[in-house]
Structure 1
Amino acid sequence: MTRPPLPAALAVVALGGAAGACIRALLLQAWPIDASGFPWATFAINVSGSFLLALLPALPAVRRRPLLPPLLGTGVLGGYTTLSTWSEQTRGLLAAGDTAVAGAYVFGTLAAALLAVVGADRLSTLAQRVRFDEEEGDL
């Protein structure tokens, strides 16, 4: 499969990113975060986004369509997950003196996201992942 033309790839990344960011905003609004509590909504968003991103190579429909990886991976899931919110919420927890909660949030998110990636990775073969990486490139 050939790479999609750059203008088309950029367009689907932009559309996907907007959709992912809107989904994240709706979820964060539906489950507001208490300033001194564990940010469960952002935690769930980042862990589920990690799982879904790692799952893409296992999906034949994604592997067969050159615009789906940049749309879903870089676009939707890039807009959906959020390192900046994770960082800011950690800063807020530390500023409030909730060091234990901040530590649990930082290391819990990392551990859960890595476990999600390992779980999703097991749903695809090495050959599928290599082919996916070759086709998607650095978008």
Structure 2
Amino acid sequence: MMKVEITCPIYPSEDPEKVRTAIERIFPGAEIVEDEKGLKGNTDNLDHFSKQIRKQKILDTTRSVLLRGKRGNITRFFLNKQVAFVGKISFCEEKTILGTMRVVVEDDELDAVIENVAPETVDGEEVLI
């Protein structure tokens, strides 16, 4: 079963509710709790994320990021949380000035998850088998 963990620090200059909204706009339905480091969300669903990358036409980029972050049955990547607040996906490096949202996806069949979320493309179009 797929597990998705989202962690997002909250800096003193940030509104915790806006950070929560950023997570919810990319991962609606995630169970979010606050701890001393920030917010942590958990979900088993990447449907909205997958729809959003198609809408933004960033399948190739997403696939590359998911494969680059893959280690065994886990992949991790980072999203810009300010961009997430407006419901868009923008991948970034782990340390950015405006903060990141860390996403870890774990599944025994991770290759199938990646294929489902961000399939291969030809000329920007999904390859349908």
> TM-score when scaled to structure 2?
0.31
- Radius of gyration: which is bigger? 1
- Structure whose residues are more often helix by fraction: 1
- Higher relative CO (CA 8 A, sep ≥ 6), structure 1 or 2? 1
